[in-house]
Structure 1
Amino acid sequence: MCNQTTTAEKSSPTHIYFDSPEKHCRGTDYLCCSISDIISEAKSLFNLAFPIALTGLILYSRSIVSMLFLGYLGDIELAAGSLAIAFANITGYSVLSGLALGMDPLCSQAFGAQRHKLLSLTLHRYVVFLLFTSIFISFLWINMFNIMVYLQQDHNITRIGQRYLLFSLLDLFTNSFVHPIRIYLRAQGITRPVALASFFGTFLHLPISFVLVSHFNFGVSGVAASASISNFFVLISLVAYIWVSGIHEPTWEKPSFECLTGWKSLLKLAVPSCVLVCLEWWWYEIMIVMCGLLVNPKALVASMGILIQTTSLLYVFPSSLGFAVSTRVGNELGANRPYKARLSVAVAMFISAIMGLSALTFATALRDKWALMFTSDTQILRLTSVALPILGLCELGNCPQTVGCGVLRGSARPSTAANVNLGAFYLVGMPVAVGSVFYIGIGFSGLWLGLLSAQVCCAGLMLYVVESTDWEQQAKRARMLTCIDIRQPDDFDCNKGEVEQPLTCSA
């Protein structure tokens, strides 16, 4: 086991990647870990990440089914569906997912600190918060046609895309429940129910799509409706499993009017987490919009849709590891074990590097065959083949960057991660992409060169931030966050901390 030593002196900072074991074991407050400790931590991460990755692959297969049905309907339907999905991601799915991730540090640290009421209270608050947010997002989706025409997108593609969004409105409200429940369970190390529920919903997705699209000829509307219906079945089966199995009982509290209060504290984590997710998600969707401004937008938008589906597949693995390390870091900091949190980070970063190399190999090896699953159009095939190796290079940076984001979420630092993404994607990557496409004239591949420059910059900054973290200080912040510091003076008010006001205080 890793052992923590104590001293009155302040220790010098340690390098979690490169310092030798001898140096860690010499002096005070250093990380002394054997090979068995590292293997044990890797197993813990794997046990968390594997069901999450399985869930991601199941959900990805559902999106692939939708893309295949869109391709079956025709190239213009494929382009319209890609544009609608891009708009939905920018204005809806990324926002809900990002806001929900504000739960991560609260839930994982509260569970590590055995603050069970805080777990349930956070779940209730976020469900209400996301439902309110979904109402506002729905107004944007209803007006998608006017917005995209104003952005000079093709009228025919946009008109079909509008129908897709109208039949996806149910998905907003479904996700307002699914995201918080998923994080509530994951913070407790419970990931299997989500995988099983996702499998059940995806199992129904194919026959529902076939009936609505092929039998009733509902076209794009049928593709969207089938995705929304199958996701609703995911929610129903997930809630049923939880209730029947009783896995919620150790940490469950009945909803009360208390969940309608404390939103200021909630926003302190939810908004930066949302910005963190949206800055990266929006980049990919902005690339689709930029494709619509180039010559022959139908082929470019369709190819970009295929490539983004590819990145979604590759993203399943580092994101699953990122969620796992976020939970591990949050649990260990909440339990006041900063040395274990630091070990988890080091192991996760090493695994992320292996994932990046694997993704590069995959994208390069299948560059001439991958797009054949979606279309037979020669121009779309050529564009996709040229961009896939660049996409693979992007994953070398994306994997450690994604895991680094998980580390910062688990330690309640989403603002830091958001600043890194802002600088890398929009101050470095965006100028490179715009310059490559519209000034140098590289065209479609220039968009991916911009992404490559952004990912390299983002990975470097993220590694620096993670490596320079003071984990003892993060453990103190975790005690403030959950209001359980036993060393507080008798007259200490958890709402008036001298160092940092806690984000949530629960009895």
Structure 2
Amino acid sequence: MATPPKNLSTLERVTSVTSRAFSRSLPDFSPIAQASLARDIEEDPEDAVESESEPDSETSTLRPSTSAPGRGQSFAGLYRRPSFVGAGNRATVLPHLLSTEHERLSKQERRQALEEERSLLRDNNIIPPKHPQAASDDGSRRKSIFHIPGGDRKVTRDEEATPALDGAFGAVSEATPLLGDPNLPYGGQDDPETINQKWEEAVAAGMIHTTWQREAKVIARYAAPLMVTFILQYSLTVASIFTVGHIGTVELGAVSLASMSANITGYALYQGLATSLDTLCAQAYGSGRRKLVGLQMQRMIYFLWAITLPIAIIWIFAENILIALVPEPEVAKLAGLYLRVVLAGAPGYAAFEAGKRYVQAQGLFSASLYVLLFCAPFNAFMNWLFVWRFQWGFVGAPIAVAITDNLLPVGLFIYVRFFSKSGMSCWNGFTKKALQNWGPMVKLALPGVVMIEAEVLAFEVLTFAASYFGTTTLAAQSVLATLTSLTFQIPFPLSIAGSTRVANLIGATLADAAKVSTKVTFSAAVIVGILNVTLLSALKDYIPHLFTSDAEVIRIVSDILPLCAAFQLFDALAAACNGILRGLGRQEFGGYVQLFCYYLFAMPISFGTAFGAGWGLWGLWTGVALALGLVAAVEFVYLARTDWQRSVEEATARNMEGGL
């Protein structure tokens, strides 16, 4: 099964900044997307704009204040969740591509944005609490610094230093902190228009503050569903390794080599090409041309199916290719068999990659999670059923993967058709127009392909190198790579949650609140890193038995696991740094740091110590461990020296440019 690269929140969907290196050599993607959209509209003038019914006052997620230029441009476009993100390799080598223009939040996002702002206004004493208290309760209930029953309320230092707001708020003082009906939730001030007005003035006056407790709750709420999603998705790979690993070391090494080959030559291409929909579908939906979202998805599916033909040729003859590259003929033979069988699932996987963009452009971020909640356990069951119950052996694993790959788009269709209220509103029916106007889509997809292929190669090359140390070492490498990728499924979603939160707070010109959220993210990353270190160290003699019964493989894995455990803290911190950089719009810096650390630093050390010094698998992982530590150190220092107010100004400028 594919192990797609990592780079991504249930609320947000794709970053808008690209690498300058790419922008100089590749076409400007925003005009391309606009031209494509304009051409589709011109070809189908009867496709009326379908505007959403909510008022404009709800169109932001922690919206920029009126005191900053560019009001009205949703900040959520600055960092929204990368829809190509999945479980797999750990680095985000280069920033993702997406234009922010013409994007609007979905209804679900608007409601969540409104609730976030209402909650912050309540906690900062701008509006009354949600549940009013009777006068008789004043003396019996314990007061908090956010409770506002009257003049006996405790005053925080921030409030002492903050001038009262007039106008929309009335005369705010200790005696009359708020206006409104005290018998209604939020004093009757929870309508979108009032929330919008109070939010704008409170931000302009510097009255919006946050706390560690609040940020911890928000980040936990963002990260929890992502952790479940990523672990479920990565379990599709783990299930095959679990079942095949107990057959023998040759089979364990073969499934690792086959997965690597499938990633480089197939799955990464699908993921990279489909990234163009992050722009095209988002802009079509944001412009109100919902039917064009379905049209773009159709085009991408047909295009991905078309490139499946050359991919199929490579996979069919993979055995001959791998025999020429890998010194273990039996491993190459089984890996080739795996690729030939799993080819049956490639069209389904391609359709799922395009389908994810279709649903996420509409804000249906839980669709993939619900599909995986069914498909992941079913995939594990099929692996056991085919490999052991039916006694099909090694070939049972790729059969299970192929069936799962084809079930993924079917599950997505069932969700959209029967369980989503608005999912079918963007479907335009099958049309011949999907076979036309592929040029803009392909041009937008090229940077995504380069980015994802670079990331896949950065780590998968270790598996290829391990094959030169023999079947046993290759099998051990398969277990180690699986374990470290599995442990990464916790800190990476945490980094996405932190990135989303910081991005929204920066976009709302709340630099101090963004700093608090960053500290919470780093603290959580340290806790997660220590937890991973403890688990891998304490269970180093037990975990290998879950993957294989071979005594030599178990010994090698147990010996190297302490090294893998040692860099778990750096791994978590590097992920957190990458997330914060994305939230600040500085992912380009992180991209170049990782390019240097992985390709110019880690690879020479890994190959030098592994082959030159004769350290073997120890040497391969030593380079990775040092690179992760260097990434974390460099990016942490950069963030410590970052001018956060400048980031606010840059975000405001991007919003202003997007609104022009």
Task: Summarize the alignment of residues 90-489 of structure 1 with structure 2, pairs less than 5 Å apart.
Answer: 90-100=264-274, 117=290, 123=297, 126-183=300-357, 185-186=359-360, 190-249=364-423, 252=426, 254=428, 257=433, 261=437, 263-264=439-440, 267-268=443-444, 270-294=445-469, 297-325=470-498, 337=508, 339=510, 342=514, 347-406=520-579, 417-463=590-636, 468=642, 470-477=647-654, 480=657, 484-485=658-659, 488=660
Write the deviation string for residues 16-55 of structure 1: whole angstroms up to 9, x where unpaired: xxxxx99xx99x999876344x544443443333222112
1:82 to 256, 276, 283: 256
User: CA separation of 1:249/1:217 partners in 2, compared to 1, >3 Å: closer, same or farther?
Assistant: closer
* Counterpart-to-counterpart distance in 1, 2:338 and 2:390: 16
1:152-189 per-residue CA deviation (whole Å, 9 max, x = no partner) reads 43111101110011111133322223234335545666
**Shift of residue 438, structure 1, vs aligned partner:** 1.5
1:439 to partner: Cα distance = 1.7
Structure 2: where are the runs of 5+ without partners? 1-61, 70-156, 163-202
**Which whole-Å CA distance do the structure 2 matches of 1:327 and 1:109 have between them?**
20
1:448 partner letter: W
Give the C-alpha shift of residue 7 in structure 1: 7.1
Aligned to 1:501: none
1:252 Cα deviation (Å)? Answer: 2.6
In angstroms, what is the RMSD of aligned CA positions? 3.9
Q: Secondary structure at the match of 1:293?
A: helix
Partners of 2:385 and 2:496 in 1: CA distance: 36
Larger Rg: 2
Q: CA deviation at 1:451?
A: 0.3
Is the contact between residue 90 and residue 281 of structure 1 (CA under 8 Å) also seen in structure 2? yes
Amino acid at match of 1:242: V
Which whole-Å CA distance do the structure 1 matches of 2:499 and 2:434 have between them?
27
Cα separation, partners in 2 of 1:120 and 1:330, compared to 1, 3 Å = farther
Residue 52 of structure 1, aligned match among 193, 203, 226: 226
Query: Greater helix share, 1 or 2?
Result: 1
Contact 1:62 1:205 in 2 (8 A): yes
Aligned letter for 1:70?
V
Aligned length: 462
Letter of the 1:279 partner, please give it.
Answer: A
Q: 1:280 to 1:312 in 2, by over 3 A?
A: same
Matched to 1:398, the amino acid is: D
| Larger deviation, residues 80-89 vs 469-478 | 469-478
How far the C-alpha of 1:79 sits from its partner, in A, is: 1.6
* Greater Cα offset, 225-234 or 443-452: 225-234
How much does 1:212 deviate? 2.8
Structure 2 distance, partners of 1:479, 1:239, is 38
Query: How far has the Cα of 1:422 moved from its partner?
Result: 1.7
Contact 1:201 1:231 in 2 (8 A): no
Cα distance in 2 for residues equivalent to 1:414 and 1:3: 21
Q: Deviations over 1:214-236 (max 9, x none)?
A: 35443222210111212322321
What displacement does 1:387 show? 1.5
Question: In structure 2, how many angstroms separate the alpha carbons of the residues matched to 1:308 and 1:448?
Answer: 10
Which whole-Å deviations, capped at 9, do the CAs of 1:448-494 have from their partners, x for residues lacking one?
A: 110012212223344466664724324543565xxx51xx3xxxxxx
Whichever residue aligns with residue 244 of structure 2, its letter is L
- Segment drifting more, 443-452 vs 320-329: 320-329
Cα distance in 2, alignment partners of residues 39 and 141 from structure 1: 51
Q: Distance in 1 between matches of 2:374 and 2:554?
A: 33
* CA deviation after TM superposition for structure 1 residue 316, in Å: 1.2
- 2:30 corresponds to which residue? none
- Between the aligned partners of 1:332 and 1:398, the Cα distance in structure 2 is 25
CA distance in 1: counterparts of 2:422 and 2:580, whole angstroms: 26
| SS of 2:534 mapped into structure 1 | helix
Q: What CA distance in whole angstroms lies between the structure 2 residues aligned with 1:356 and 1:173?
A: 37
Q: Say if 1:396 and 1:220 are closer, same or farther in 2 by CA, change over 3 A.
A: same
**Which digits, 9 at most, give the CA deviation of each residue in 1:89-133, with x for residues without a partner?**
23223343344456557778998x786748667655654554444
Q: What is the one-letter code of the residue matched to 2:316?
A: I
* Mapped contact 2:609–2:619 kept (Cα < 8 A): yes
Which deviates more, 412-421 or 132-141? 412-421
User: TM-score if structure 1 supplies the norm length?
Assistant: 0.77
Secondary structure, in 3 states, of the residue corresponding to 2:571? helix
- CA distance in 2 between partners of 1:441 and 1:94 (Å): 32
Q: Percent identity?
A: 25
